[in-house]
Amino acid sequence: MMNRFQYFLFKNKLPLTAGLLSGVMTGTSYIPFPPWAILFNFVPLWWFWLYRATSRKQILMSGLLAQFVFNLIGFHWVFHTAHEFGRLPLPISLAVLLLFALLAHVYVPLVGLAIFELKKRLKLNDKNLSPLVTYSFLVILCGLWCLAEIYWPYIFQWNMGYTLLWARFPLFHGADIIGFQGLSLILLLFNALVLTFIPSHFSLRHCLRGLSFALLGFLTLNAGSWFYGKAWTENYKPTQTIRFLPVQANIGNTEKIMAERGLGFQDFILDRFISLSEKALSEHPEADVLVWPESAIPDYLDQEYSNRRRPKKIKTFLSQTQKGLITGAYSRESLFSKGFPSSSLEKSYNALFAFDADGTLSSPPYRKHQLLAFGEYTPFAQWFPYLNEISPSGVGFSPGPGPSVIDYSFFKFAPQICYESLYPDLNRHSVLLGAQILINITNDSWFGTGFEPQQHLSMTFARAIENRRPLLRVTNTGITSAIDASGIILTQSPIYQEWSDIITLSYEETPKLTLFTRYGGYLPVFVVLMTLGGLASVLLRRRY
DSSP class of 198:
-
Is residue 469 a contact partner of residue 509, using CB atoms and an 8 Å limit? no
d(Cα 163, Cα 167) in Å, to the nearest integer?
6
Q: Say if strands 489-492 and 481-483 run parallel, antiparallel, or are unpaired.
A: antiparallel
How would you label 420-450 residue by residue, b for 16+ Cβ within 10 Å and e otherwise? Answer: bbbbbebbbbbbeeebbbbbbbbbbbbbbee
CB burial of residue 262 (10 Å; 0-12, 13-18, 19+):
exposed
Q: How far apart are CA 441 and CA 476, in angstroms?
A: 9
Taking Cα atoms as reference points, which of 186, 180, 183 lies closest to residue 157?
A: 180
78: DSSP letter: H
Type of residue numbered 102: L
Helix (H) or strand (E) holding 29: none
**Residue 534: partners with Cβ closer than 8 Å, 6 or more residues away:** 136, 137, 138, 139, 140, 143
Q: What distance in Å separates the CA atoms of residue 232 and residue 251, rounded to the nearest whole number?
A: 40
Sheet containing 406-408, strands listed edge to edge, beginning at the edge strand earlier in sequence: 406-408, 411-417, 437-442, 471-475, 481-483, 489-492
Alpha carbon distance 477, 106 (integer Å)? 32
Burial 521-544 (b: 16+ CB within 10 A, else e): eebeeebeebbeebbebbeeebee
| 139 vs 529: CA distance, rounded Å | 11
Give the residues across from 411 on adjacent strands. 408
Closest CA to 488 of 219, 221, 238: 238
Residues with a known catalytic role:
294, 368, 418
Closest by CA to 371, choosing from 427, 425, 418, is 418
CB within 8 A of 364, min separation 6: which ones?
none
Amino acid identity, position 407:
D
Give residue 253's Cα distance to chain centre: 23
Q: Return the bridge partners of 366, or none.
A: 352
Half-sphere exposure of 508 (CA within 13 A, CB side): 15
